[in-house]
Amino acid sequence: MEPALSSSTSLAPGVNTHPTSFIPIPAPRPHARTRRPSIQRRRSARLPRPRPQLSSAAAMDQPSTTSAPKRQSRSRRRQQHVAQAPSVDDTILNPGTVRINATGAQIEEHEEEEPLTPRSDDYEHDKMDILLPNHRGIVSHIAIDIGGTLAKLIYFARDTNNSVGGRLNFMKFETGKIDVCIDIMRKLKERYQKQDESSPEGLCVMATGGGAFKYYDRIKEALGVEVIREDEMECLIYGLDFFISEIPAEIFTYNIDAAPGEDPITYLHDPPTEIYPYLLVNIGSGVSMIKVSGPRQFERIGGTSLGGGTFWGLLSLLTGGRNFDEMLKLAERGDNSTVDLLVGDIYGAAYNKIGLKSTHIASSFGKVLKAKSRAEQDAEDGCNTNLSHSVPENPPFHRTASAPAAEDDASVSSATSSPTPSSPTQSESVPSDDPTLTSTASLFRPEDISRSLLYMVSNNIGQIAHLHAEKHSLPRIYFGGSFIGGHSQTMHTLSYAIRFWSKGERQAYFLRHEGYLGAVGAFVKRQPRNWGRRASLERCEGVSWKAEMRA
């Protein structure tokens, strides 16, 4: 649906876009290993010799007695020591020896159930695993991102048919059922112990999100393992950078001009020539907008409280819906023109002078008050009107959800058929304790309310995202978060909003694992540097990170 009626970043060093073989961390130089013990022995055998105290001026004039080669050698050793030592702000604890080999990584969709996690209403096992066919090392950690609404879990499972390779598995739970998630983690712990009984480290849980602090004690007590908490924003960036750099066909665009029957999704098999800068719009319960200038160079530049939690909360009040995915599916069958006030309803036609089509939304939920007043007036006049069927008249530009989109309009077409009926179980609302709310909601189909609210939230996010990208000169906008959920209407609306407000200069980018950015970021933070098909995690020197150019 079209938006509502309203009137010095430096690039990181170049990134090689061609897959390369896995490159291990280079060993220290031989001379450093052979000379260091002798230096330590000489130092331990000597007593410290007092030095004369010189004034600052005298010190500046004092000639150096150390030869240039020795100074350079010591400088190299100091640099090497700093590069090998943990950085002060490093949050990776006990990284072990595992390095995820992402060479040949690919996404595989499947329908069979994983034995450890059979089908259940308490969680959802994502059907898109990431295959890592060339990974050999032992992975002894799992990662979890616990948000305000959902908890996302990632774990690595070996390929049972081969000695090499495995896959990353993705699961999500409602945060209110965190104990179910902890029980799954307990089963994972038992599996890891059986697979590698000699491991000295045992299982480690990498946790991020607000729930990493709220449920820290509960997880640690229930599992009896180390729980490492990671910064939420940092994990989001780590996760997105990993997906962009390491996983082919993870990023895609949505073509709002696709013809009926044509696949609107185009997958990107290689990262852009210049990954940075970009804008990440993470849509969870709320919305955060993060400017990313380079590896570990990010800043939260804005956001909004009107996010997935708003959509879910209002729909649960208005329709009695209980499940987030169910609400999004309702929106796919809805007709927002029975609820929203369009430009055509006001002017009778398009307002071409200022570039507004008749199908533009002038006011979200703009027809509700008028319909309610009409129903109340009919009741006062003694009419035997059944409120459940007092649906407002369809506007002149009515369309159905099943009709193809008209040109570049994200939500309206020129079709004039009646709305698609839905089954009683799908449209049935749970009565509210508020009789006023119940009578008002009964004037409209739950599908139509869902569609209208989806457009209201999505259009608002799309416009704010464009404004931030415009202000900070960010060429690409990536949308992540569980709100998107792979639903076509959400991607359609966000794509249209970005193209509309940017006048075609920018494009929206989406991910196949959009809800797992934080969990993936926490997972890869457990790895040593310089791993993967493009060495996407940069080498650490001291407390600064630098992008490493690959020929």
Write the DSSP assignment of 299-318 as a string of letters: EEEEEES-SHHHHHHHHHHH
Domain annotation covers residue 18: no
Do 152 and 207 lie in a common domain?
A: yes
The residues near 342 (Cβ < 8 Å, ≥ 6 apart) are 358, 359, 360, 361, 362, 395, 397, 412
If pLDDT is split at 50, 70 and 90, which confidence band does 232 have?
very high
Count CB neighbours of 420 within 10 A: 15
pLDDT of 381 higher than 50: yes
Do 238 and 257 lie in a common domain?
A: no
Do 197 and 173 lie in a common domain?
A: yes
Do 212 and 311 lie in a common domain?
A: no
What number of residues does the chain have?
551
Domain annotation covers residue 39: no
Q: How far apart are CA 67 and CA 61, in angstroms?
A: 17
* Amino acid 440: pLDDT: 57
Which of residues 269 and 326 earns the better pLDDT score?
269
* Amino acid 425: pLDDT: 37
* Amino acid 429: pLDDT: 43
- Kind plus residue range of the DSSP H or E element containing 58: helix 56-61
Q: How far apart are CA 124 and CA 173, in angstroms?
A: 7
Domain annotation covers residue 236: yes
| 356 touches 343 (CB < 8 A) | yes
Mapped onto helix, strand or coil, the DSSP state of residue 178 is: helix
* Amino acid 196: pLDDT: 63
Q: Which whole number is the average pLDDT over 295-319?
A: 92
Q: How far apart are CA 77 and CA 33, in angstroms?
A: 10
The one-letter amino acid code at 534 reads: R
Q: Which residues pair with 252 in a beta bridge?
A: 267, 510
Domain annotation covers residue 136: yes
The one-letter amino acid code at 245 reads: S
* Amino acid 377: pLDDT: 64
Range of the domain at 318: 253-511
pLDDT of 531 higher than 50: no
Burial of 476 from C-beta contacts in 10 A (0-12 / 13-18 / 19+): buried
Domain annotation covers residue 37: no
Q: Which whole number is the average pLDDT over 515-537?
A: 69
Residue that is written with structure tokens 């059944």 in the block: 386
If pLDDT is split at 50, 70 and 90, which confidence band does 439 have?
low
Q: How far apart are CA 272 and CA 548, in angstroms?
A: 16
* Amino acid 233: pLDDT: 94
* Amino acid 332: pLDDT: 87
pLDDT of 47 higher than 80: no
Count CB neighbours of 518 within 10 A: 34
Domain annotation covers residue 539: yes
| 124 touches 171 (CB < 8 A) | yes
Indicate left, alpha or beta for 303 from its phi (over 0: left) and psi (-120 to 50: alpha). left
Do 377 and 413 lie in a common domain?
A: yes
The residues near 369 (Cβ < 8 Å, ≥ 6 apart) are none
If pLDDT is split at 50, 70 and 90, which confidence band does 201 have?
low
Q: How far apart are CA 140 and CA 160, in angstroms?
A: 17
* Amino acid 323: pLDDT: 75
Which of residues 296 and 304 earns the better pLDDT score?
304
Do 187 and 277 lie in a common domain?
A: no
pLDDT of 306 higher than 80: yes
* Amino acid 527: pLDDT: 59
Write the DSSP assignment of 79-120 as a string of letters: HHHHHHSPPTT-------S-----TT-EEEE--SPBTTB---
* Amino acid 116: pLDDT: 66
| 240 touches 478 (CB < 8 A) | yes
Write the DSSP assignment of 435-478 as a string of letters: HHHHHHHTTS-HHHHHHHHHHHHHHHHHHHHHHHHHHTT---EE
Burial of 452 from C-beta contacts in 10 A (0-12 / 13-18 / 19+): buried
* Amino acid 115: pLDDT: 62
| Best CA proximity match to 511, nearest among 520, 502, 503 | 520
Q: What angle, rounded to 10 degrees, do the helices at 308-319 and 446-471 form?
A: 160
Q: Which residues pair with 131 in a beta bridge?
A: 106, 167
CATH number of the domain enclosing 259: 3.30.420.40
* Amino acid 84: pLDDT: 39
Q: Which whole number is the average pLDDT over 96-124?
A: 74
If pLDDT is split at 50, 70 and 90, which confidence band does 471 have?
very high
pLDDT in tens, 131-183: 998 887 778 789 999 998 899 999 998 877 776 788 999 999 999 999 999 99
pLDDT of 299 higher than 80: yes
Q: How far apart are CA 514 and CA 517, in angstroms?
A: 6
Do 420 and 334 lie in a common domain?
A: yes
Do 360 and 501 lie in a common domain?
A: yes
| 342 touches 397 (CB < 8 A) | yes
Q: How far apart are CA 525 and CA 90, in angstroms?
A: 10
Do 238 and 340 lie in a common domain?
A: no
If pLDDT is split at 50, 70 and 90, which confidence band does 52 have?
very low
pLDDT of 30 higher than 80: no
Q: How far apart are CA 500 and CA 130, in angstroms?
A: 34
| 106 touches 249 (CB < 8 A) | yes
Q: Which two tokens stand for residue 136?
A: 């050999």
Strand 204-208 with 141-146, pairing: parallel
pLDDT of 6 higher than 60: no
Report the percentage of the chain scoring pLDDT > 70.
Answer: 62
Q: How far apart are CA 24 and CA 4, in angstroms?
A: 52
Quote the number of domains for the chain: 2
Alpha helices in 131-225 (DSSP H): 178-195, 211-214, 216-223
Do 286 and 343 lie in a common domain?
A: yes
Mapped onto helix, strand or coil, the DSSP state of residue 251 is: strand
Domain annotation covers residue 66: no
| 309 touches 422 (CB < 8 A) | no
Do 493 and 529 lie in a common domain?
A: no
Average pLDDT, the chain: 73
pLDDT of 536 higher than 80: no
Do 274 and 230 lie in a common domain?
A: no
Q: Which whole number is the average pLDDT over 433-446?
A: 64
Domain annotation covers residue 482: yes
* Amino acid 293: pLDDT: 96
Q: Which whole number is the average pLDDT over 201-225?
A: 91
